[in-house]
Structure 1
């Protein structure tokens, strides 16, 4: 055991966190308002505090000290002394053990207790009271680590944005029911890159896997009391530490090995990250880390009454990225995941919050965006924002700066509405098919900035969009009140599963039509894991708390005849997208004439006639043809034409002039994916079906 001195040496204010240098460990933690910070050391089981040492130095608001002879594996935490004055925004309570914000690993888990609160729960004075109970027994501990991993010849795929196809998945849900994965490894980082997972993604043609949160998160007390869990993980407390639940009997190197294997397969790894809030909740929440270290700095507080948190996130608190040290911690965290785990990019939950300035307004020139764009490490990885929160002016789709892609919910909603037959959708739908230039074509942004999807973790799966018109969240324990009430879905006659062959045929056709829409539109396509084989959540559109078969991927379903048929269809679409540059154009197109009678983007109706302004305003128009074309060096042109029939009856589509060689690439009504040459000038498109064509011709 390390000999513990009576006091720490001075150490260094940099780097922040616990850093092993081979001879000992340097501890450094930020607090602008603390009066004293103590380092607490624990036995190997985390049960007994064996020493409490004051950090002796305070440099540029960084408290620091050095412990000679300390080694990796040591368990520790902090206690912060200072004013307990909620009316002024300060909530220091040295009775509460605090995690190191920079901890690279945690030991143990939260044991829910009222002692975790800085105030006396149920006191008449509420959070103005002061709780003197020691919270150490209920708290996980920070762990000193020494990161060393042999990355060998690991090379990032560096897939261009215009060629990227994203697959959104959950670490546990992806492999929990995968038969060939050993039982003790299912749902872990070790299983993440199992050969069966990689083979499946490669067969599909996926270029990037986007993982739901894997930074250390906290289980919600109210969920645990109902026998549920925070399955999605949007409740982060440890922004540098991999979530323990996915370690199994392994360690963080299993995650690094998974990344390395994905890279060897040509697949990038993106992380869904949550820097808009923390797991400490509102001013009535727990004191576990940031609140106890410096509540007035880490969180945005109401200006007229700093006792209360600003709640632009809907989770009780909002991280204050307008503060330099908070911004530093976030960027240090991001850089750590890129450098230590070799991840290839990030999707930012509630990204609008990250762009809010001191007055609470969204600013595309906010410090967070500027720092990432100029950073030599972070400026070179993929950056994706969820462009909304619940704060004032929170919906900011299209308003992020260059370098960022954004989840496009307008694409999602217009696609769902068109294929269920809504009226008046055609103009909006066309704008989304063509890359949403009305939203993104500014400041040298490109179509890839629009992340196009029809289903994500948040909401119904693709299959459920065609089977359920109502949410079915009874298992969540909130009397089916949670989740969106309007899914823009259609059950086509029966709520839930059915054996009716006619209804099943329509449902399958609509699913394939929506998949064609996602993969044949300009922008970056994203698929929800399992949608490629018809995964269902039994109508649950808010499965955040369902760590069970509702959320896990059913690989037996993937192996079924229907599952394999749909997977083959998705594979074909991705191959088409890869083979034909016009499907994934890297530039916005606005209908410029490139040859007589040929524009780089053109719109027609089922008669083969160009749509007039009156046609666009016709609310009953449910047929649409999009043709994209480009000139070839040979003096010819090539075109990709997408025929879409959102009506309830089959239609004969007259192919727009000029006529030349045409090939049908894919038809959502043809389960056999019958690619064939076309003769004649018309193509029959079934009701609620889409057909994709390729054509070439001579330039006159």
Structure 2
């Protein structure tokens, strides 16, 4: 049954009270509970009225903005059949937009182990919001083809010496002038914030003395976590405005694939206690389906969950003015019991919504569910993370055989993954999940012992290398080799066609000491070391950003074809180092170490009408590259001696016709 479009869920302040509205198709009754903000005691409990659509609502007089509240749902308690109703469990409103404190895991939150144990003292309370005006609508700052900068809000500024100590690790810190100056210096077009909505730690972390550092374990989809955003949506709104003023967009990484309520032994916190069989994907007997590896999977094809997703996205656009969203484990947005459908209703509704249709939409196109790998199958306008680009670039620079062709395909926009005339790829070499860019060149194997799982967690096949020593070393030759590799990897990323993504700190050599699954390391392993950063590498990254912005042909989303444009110049030519156009023998050579990519002018009459050559030498010895001339133009460097393990950008410029001087009379 579809939910009426005009219903406003959550807490809605009225003139003399507040209307509370929530959906549950299976609960016998739901009550709204009001709490004293000072003592935490429950001071009122009001039964909500249910209509035929499963909408429960109540108006509580004399309760207004700032009031603390929670929900209790009653009905059958039969977890084996998918019914988790327990009025002793205080529940957070799925539409809460602010909480009075973070979630903290406690075994008493779990059911059925702690059924009928009141959890009010253990639970955050939702706060009735004050009526707020929507942010004035403006087009996104970010455009596909730009540089996205992925960051963990907490780890990004926890050690930043110029950010006031009280502000470090928060959303507000991102608006600090020193932070904005750094983002501008390396050419960032949008920051992508890893989850900032309220999450709970996984139950196994506490006994290990660890806590979740990434936030990919959400409970309340709209409520900002008080640890990261103590000023609530106003803090986010102010930071978005400050970054926008600097020409930098904000993309939120959101998790709609599971909740922190986990598996059958997890805590009952919100959706599970309201209607598990409706909000979660369940088997024939009501057992939780785990297509995420996190214990449960949200049923995004069902009306109530679809509506919650859409309303969450609208909330962040309307209240904070964000540029767009990245969707974690995104196939769930298009999956039904029959499998993934790129034409799924939710995907269509997101793309067509008046508030969302011009926002940046980015899918992580894989999960562990049936048909979980969907790279290239999301509909326009979704951009998609490409692990194919990541792996091809890593393997090329590691020295794997038969990688020259796949490497070139990746550079050119990954046409083998995307149909049509334009790429929708988000190219990256390292992300939050996996090795940092520097660790790719310093560790051949993962080192996750700090995670407390005896190094069993995290990927085993990282396509990494260590340049002769595993981890830290004082060997100057090895350190120099790693520096060369880092510069080559960064240059490759900035030379790639389409949108590119850099993870915070990779521009100055951040290390996680070989940990490739640092989700539970809220400490110096994931906190950026601003004092110890490699400033020379950082400057190189800034220079690459300048080159990319000066040459829009690098970010142009149109696929390269090799065909001549109206001016007779092909959009791309691939050359061997001797200047000869690449042929099958070159491409098929198992150890081919080098290639030149020559990009034609983006448009006739461009400010830079000459071509751009990008030279790649993955070998360890220097190599001479020849660049063939073109009438009326000359290469700045017609023959380039390129050191091993490096990348060079060379411009072609028009040659001015010389004027013969007339003799004097």
Tell me, yes or no, whether TM beats 0.5: yes
Shift of 1:597: 7.9
Q: How does 1:485-524 map to 2 (within 5 A)?
A: 485-524=460-499
The answer to whether the 8 Å contact 1:535/1:557 transfers is: no
Whether 1:160 and 2:143 are equivalent positions in the alignment is yes
SS state at 1:232 partner: coil
SS at match of 2:112: coil
CA positional deviation for 1:14: 2.5
SS in structure 1 of the partner of residue 532 of structure 2: helix
**Does 2:576 correspond to 1:605?**
yes
Q: 2:255 aligns with which of 249, 274, 294?
A: 274
SS at match of 1:369: helix
Secondary structure of the residue that 1:438 maps to in structure 2?
coil
Q: 2:98–2:232: 8 Å Cα contact kept in structure 1?
A: no
* Separation of aligned partners in 1, 2:608 and 2:544: 25
Aligned match for 2:152, one of 150, 170, 195 = 170
The answer to whether the aligner puts 1:336 opposite 2:311 as a matched pair is: no
Map of 2:127 onto structure 1: 143
Aligned mates of 2:551, 2:104 — CA distance in 1 = 55
Say whether the 8 Å CA contact 1:662–1:693 is kept in structure 2: no
Which residue of structure 1 aligns with residue 662 of structure 2?
A: none
Q: Which moved more, 1:612-621 or 1:313-322?
A: 612-621
Q: 340-349 vs 172-181, which deviates more? A: 172-181
- Matches for 1:112-511 after TM superposition, within 5 Å: 112-120=105-113, 131-148=115-132, 158-162=141-145, 164-248=146-230, 250-303=231-284, 305-306=285-286, 308-359=287-338, 361-442=339-420, 446-447=422-423, 449-511=424-486
2:618 to 635, 639, 646: 646
CA distance in 1, matches of 2:358, 2:608: 37
What secondary structure, in the 3-state scheme, does the structure 2 residue paired with 1:401 have?
coil
**Residues 468 and 489, structure 1, Cα contact 8 Å, conserved in 2:** yes
Map of 1:685 onto structure 2: 642
User: Per-residue deviation at 1:195?
Assistant: 0.8
Matched position secondary structure for 1:555: coil
Structure 1 window deviating more from structure 2 (261-270 vs 18-27): it is 18-27
SS at match of 2:239: helix
Residue 573 of structure 1 pairs with residue 536 of structure 2: no
Structure 2 equivalent of residue 18 of structure 1: 11
Q: What is the rounded CA distance, in whole Å, between the counterparts of 1:451 and 1:323 in structure 2?
A: 29
TM-score (norm 2): 0.94
Partner of 2:660: none
The alpha carbon displacement at 1:504 in A equals 1.8
5+ long unaligned stretches in structure 2: 656-665
* C-alpha spacing 1:530/1:138, structure 2 compared with 1 (3 Å): same
Q: Distance in 1 between matches of 2:479 and 2:144?
A: 36
Pair 1:13–1:65, CA change in 2 (3 A): farther
Distance change >3 Å, CA 573–CA 182, structure 1 → 2: same
Secondary structure of 2:461's counterpart equals coil
Deviations along 1:231-273, whole A, 9 cap, x unmatched? 000000011111111235x444222211111111111001111
Cα distance in 2 for partners of 1:114, 1:650 equals 61
1:68 maps to which of 57, 61, 67: 61
Could you say which residue in structure 1 is the equivalent of 2:31? 38
Cα deviation 1:553-606 (Å, max 9, x = unaligned): 111123xxxx22111111111111111122222311211023798421221211
Query: Is 2:102–2:199's contact at 8 Å kept on the other side of the alignment?
Result: no
Distance, in Å, in 2 between the alignment partners of 1:422 and 1:685 is 21
Mapped to 1, the partners of 2:30 and 2:604 lie a distance apart of 68
Provide the C-alpha distance between the structure 2 equivalents of 1:526 and 1:161, rounded to a whole number of angstroms. Answer: 11
Across the aligned residues of Structure 1 and Structure 2, the Cα RMSD in angstroms comes to 2.2
Structure 1: gaps of 5 or more residues: 1-11, 122-130, 664-676
Relative to structure 1, the CA distance from residue 178 to residue 309 in structure 2 (aligned partners, 3 Å threshold; closer, same or farther) is: same
| Cα deviation digits, residues 32-84 of structure 1 (max 9, x gap) | 11111111111114632222210024252110011122111111111111122
Listed one character per residue, the Cα deviations across residues 350-374 of structure 1 (whole Å, up to 9, x for unaligned) are 0112211132x11111122111111
Q: Is the 8 A contact 2:103 2:199 kept in 1?
A: no
Distance 1:46 1:224 in 2: 27
Alignment of 1:581-592 (within 5 A): 581-592=552-563
Shift of 1:634: 8.9
